[in-house]
Amino acid sequence: MNAVIFEPSDAWAMFVRAAQPDVERWQAALDAPDTAQARRLAQLLEAGRDTAFGRQHGFSEIRSADQFRDRVPIRDTAAFLPWLERAAQEPEPVLTREWPAFFERTSGSTARSKLIPYTPAFLRELQAAMIVWLADMAREHPDITAGRAYWSMSPALQGPGMTSNGIAIGSASDLDYLGGGSSAAALAATLLVPPLDGDPTVWRRQTLRALVADETLALLSVWSPTFLTSLLRPLFSPGEPDSTRDLEWIEANLPAARAAALRKAITRGRCDALWPQLAAVSSWMDGPSRVYAESLRTRFPAAVQWLPKGLLATEGVVSIPFGDGDGCPLAIGSHYLEFVFDDGRVCDVSGLAPGDEAVVLLTTGGGLYRYALGDRVRVTRFTGRTPCIAFMGRAGASCDLVGEKLDERMVGDALAPVFASGASACLVPDAQADVPHYVMLLAGVPRESAEMLRDAIETRLDRIFHYSHARRIGQLDPLRVRWLSDAPARLGDLLQHAAERSGIRAGDVKPSPLVNRLPMAELVLGTSEWWQHE
């Protein structure tokens, strides 16, 4: 009796059929986002009323969004941290009626590392967004359903743990987000799942071997393009000692035909020969990630589609890739969303207009209430009556060595000439120097252009009042430049490597034009000096 072969296309077809009611509800809600959001807020308030947080803030008496804003203050990471710590310590409901299934660590770029509760309700909110995104992607790009898919998976390098009230810290893998009876669980059969070893060198090598071994790969889905670049680095830098070691091990563990395809890819410095069925790569493609995505794109065949990700953080989902056009529609069916403008004004989805820029607030089924995510977004267009947004950068990512008060937005504007040329750059504070200063790490331009670009960027920084004042009175030395390579991706590799060394999960690393935390800055500068002399 012949065994029945279960094709990836069968799993995708099963998923798309099961997801259709969810997609239809989503499409209907796009024309009435204020109704969908009012319903979500009422549900979240009801679910949280009998908790310590809900009682303290009078959830049982709140009847409108205005009352919610009056009773619950906006809290950033540091202000919300005591509530998160209580949720990980106390035996009674603190933030949610539901007991968290697990806590996820987040890196704490603006405060110390924190634990985010992942309740069953919160996982359903994430899955609701994922289902719409995946179903739409399968409809728009059916070729992705013909083969296997790789979704960004990386071990938690800090290791598993347990809270003092007995809840697991960390999910086993990114695949946990497909569980709980979700229709997306059918896609697990299509996934390429390499072993996840806690040693970064080992799991990266094993993952690359698994990818190269599968010629049916049709979809690569990652969050940051720097993560994918770091996985593929041995193919593009085969002469480096670590790459040579990894490639020798990988080739020795491949069938002859796949080993030949690997050698061809190395010779060409491109992925054409590896995955003849590859239809799409999905990654972040806006904000600071754009230059790294565009650089990586040149390594793939022109026919491969590059699909933008929405805005998803450990704390929640803000937007979903859906349909055509610039930006992604807000995830109005998942959490309750608010937006804070530079002048302090706050609105919900109904108050946004094209061109608006604001910082996102999240209220979620995981127990975050009016939580300032720190991500700055811009409204690009509308789908129905629902705003679509693009990620602009981190609003709270600032650095102030001597009063210069640089933030990510200022630095991104100053570095605009570098990014416009297709190169990559990042400012890193050097607080250990006799006179503090910033170092511009630069990649993607000829070495002889580095000093000229340094002068141009210093001129642009000098237009920032506090930076200029600190320079004039001698508190801050001039900008230095450290050239890394004529390949833009080299800087992404460096930032990815340094972030992983600091304990951040590899798949969660976000590119940024400014390193604002001094311990990370010291690590990045040390790594860049070492890489310069490789």
pLDDT digits (tens, 9 = 90+) for 456-492: 999 999 999 889 888 887 888 999 999 998 888 889 8
Is the pTM value of this prediction over 0.85?
no
The residues spanned by each domain of the chain are 20-396, 398-532
**pLDDT, mean of residues 380-400:** 88
Of 340, 368, 336, the closest CA to residue 352 belongs to 340
Q: What is the dihedral of CA 529, 495, 394, 460, to 10 degrees?
A: 40
Mean per-residue pLDDT, 482-510 = 84
Range of lowest pLDDT (30-44, 87-101, 477-491, 506-520)? 506-520
Percentage of the chain modeled with pLDDT above 90: 54
Query: CA-to-CA distance for 122 and 292, rounded, in angstroms?
Result: 31
**CATH class entry, domain 398-532:** alpha beta
Tokens 């000093």 belong to: 451
Read off the pLDDT band of 108 (50, 70, 90): very low
| Separation CA 294–CA 279 (nearest Å) | 17
Express each pLDDT in 324-383 by its tens digit.
888 999 999 999 999 999 999 999 999 999 999 999 999 999 999 999 998 899 999 999
CATH classification code of 20-396 = 3.40.50.12780
Quick one: which H or E segment has residue 204?
helix 200-213
Cα-based distances in Å from 281 to 80, 218, 227, 236: 36, 9, 13, 18
pLDDT in tens, 418-430: 998 889 999 999 9
CA angle, 475 then 476 then 482, to 5°:
160
CA atoms of 481 and 294, how far apart (whole Å): 23
User: Which residues touch 436 (CB under 8 Å, ≥6 apart)?
Assistant: 401, 402, 429, 430, 475, 476, 477
